[in-house]
Structure 1
Amino acid sequence: MRDQLRRQRGLRNMSQEEFGKRANYSGSTVSAVETGTRLLDMPYARRTDDLLDSGGLFESLLRSAQEDGEPTWLKPWPEAERDARQLRFFEPILIPGLFQTENYARAVLRLDDTLSESEVEQQLATRMGRQEILTRERPPQIIGVIDESALRLREAIMGEQLAHLLRMAELPYVHIHVVPLSAGLHIGLSGPLMLAMLADGAWVGYLDHQIDGLPVGVEEHVARLLARWEGVRSAALPEGLSLALIKEIESQHRPQ
């Protein structure tokens, strides 16, 4: 749909700035929508149809997207994640999705008892598919910060999961840090966050919560997320000590 937006605007010889001015949006907002780092919502689609005289094309496309089973709020982040040159994230409770094993991810998804088994498997396939960026020809640099409490779940799946996490840490472009329990209260306990730096150097963010997720593209909000991420990273152990701690916890899951 975003390719269509760019194409139709271009056919009318309108720059992003000109289109934004006519639609009462900033040029940067138009750019963010067209690159997938800002949510394409219904008011934007309708205003585009009016300006481009497209006969309701974009409203229709957006309605179809809303009905295809993938929440519209989720669409921008996977695109940003796939296009990222750098990824930074913090998780206070769970192993980050990019580093989850299939068994761990399935167990997490099954915690939502409103999902049918087929829906769990569908979401599992999507989550595992995201991990393809780890093995592509030019993967992004990834810096992940995980709270120690996420590593210490007393579940049977944790041995396999921690061993997998250590294998991920062997990749030269993956850097994992752990915030130790001894750090006490820190800014990251407010919740998980994800950040992606795109090819043009712009950062976009994403926040998870109980009902859905929220893409973050407003510059001042992204700046706050970057500051919070730096806060949790400063509370974390250096990479070597972090991996030593993960190895120690993983060893506790091995057969005695």
Structure 2
Amino acid sequence: MEADRYSDMIRAQLRRLRIAAGLNQEEFGRRLNYSASLVSAVELGSRPLDLPLATRADEVLGTGGLLQGMLKMAEELGQVSWFLPWLDAERAATQLRCYQPTLVPGLLQTENYARAVIRCDDTLTEAEAETRLTERMDRQSVLIRENGPQFVAVIDEHVLRRTDQRFREVMKEEVEHLLAMAERPNMSVHVLPDEVSMHVGLTGPFILARGGDGNWVANLENQLGGVVVDREADVATLLTRWESVRSEALPRRQSAELMKEVVKSWT
């Protein structure tokens, strides 16, 4: 994707600017009020370069806002600036944990399901909708690559049963796809049954990524886009909520049986 190349370019530029300023990672981190290990992780792509860090780096390096501008220019490439750091974290992840109460997670969507979801936004042109679809499908390669991350998803049961006559085939195909993906050794899909009516996950969807350095970051989606979360206390809260949601969901085998029942009910 263009966003991948542009994100690599931003990180490379950060490293060149740091070296040109005569700063090693430890000294640069000290001036940023970040650790040297985080600076290293950002330059290697295992941690996101977000806007606050870019802003501080511009101040320390005296770039006149160059790095901030590069992140903002990502919007012109079809990726909003908040999403680029998450793409970095997602690609570098060794583990992914996802809870989605209203939709099938993007990484698990079939092309037909993704197209139906994207087309719900009637402000998009045909070309914009197809671009978003292509980007979403490209992201899914992270799950099936060699040495892909361990991916665990929890999906509410009503998400699998929400359909009408127009989308019965789309949903049948989608749930069959979930069953097939759940058979992969690095993947697990769990269903949160409708009988669990109240739980902490109802406040909204989130996805967590663990990088090669062992640290976690999270992505929270909302109506205007989303936000990448890497503050230690906030990530700890989300990890606790993940464990709570996961404990309410059905085990892997029971989840598969429920999904098979859903498919059979539409056949």
Fold conserved between structures, TM > 0.5: yes
Q: Hey, what does 1:26 align to over in structure 2?
A: 34
Task: Within 5 Å, give how 1:1-256 maps onto structure 2.
Answer: 1-23=10-32, 25-27=33-35, 30=39, 33-34=42-43, 35=45, 37-41=47-51, 44-45=53-54, 47-54=56-63, 57-154=66-163, 155-156=167-168, 157-254=170-267
Rounded Cα–Cα distance in structure 2 between residues aligned with 1:176 and 1:247: 13
Gaps of 5+ in 1: none
Contact 1:144 1:177 in 2 (8 A): yes
Rounded Cα–Cα distance in structure 2 between residues aligned with 1:138 and 1:36: 15
CA deviation map 1:73-118 (0-9, x unaligned): 0001111111111111001111111110000000000111111111
Q: CA RMSD in A?
A: 2.0
Counterpart of 1:170, as a letter, is: E
1:6 is displaced (CA, Å) by 1.9
The 4+ residue runs of structure 1 with deviation greater than 6 A are none
Counterpart of 1:40, as a letter, is: D
Rounded Cα–Cα distance in structure 1 between residues aligned with 2:71 and 2:250: 44
The structure-2 alpha-carbon separation of the partners of 1:162 and 1:2, relative to structure 1 and needing over 3 Å to count, comes to same
Structure-1-length-normalised TM-score? 0.90
1:50 is displaced (CA, Å) by 4.7
Counterpart of 1:112, as a letter, is: D
Rounded Cα–Cα distance in structure 2 between residues aligned with 1:92 and 1:63: 30
CA deviation map 1:10-49 (0-9, x unaligned): 34342334224334x32266456544644532x6545534
Rounded Cα–Cα distance in structure 1 between residues aligned with 2:153 and 2:68: 38
Contact 1:39 1:73 in 2 (8 A): no
Count of aligned positions: 252
Rounded Cα–Cα distance in structure 1 between residues aligned with 2:63 and 2:227: 29
CA deviation map 1:100-152 (0-9, x unaligned): 00000000001111111111100000000011112211111111111111111
Rounded Cα–Cα distance in structure 2 between residues aligned with 1:76 and 1:49: 17
Q: Hey, what does 2:5 align to over in structure 1?
A: none
Counterpart of 2:226, as a letter, is: G
Rounded Cα–Cα distance in structure 2 between residues aligned with 1:186 and 1:56: 43
Name whichever of 230-239 and 3-12 sits farther off.
3-12
Rounded Cα–Cα distance in structure 2 between residues aligned with 1:72 and 1:31: 21
Contact 1:2 1:36 in 2 (8 A): no
Rounded Cα–Cα distance in structure 1 between residues aligned with 2:82 and 2:199: 28
Contact 1:89 1:195 in 2 (8 A): yes
Counterpart of 2:23, as a letter, is: M
Contact 2:72 2:81 in 1 (8 A): no
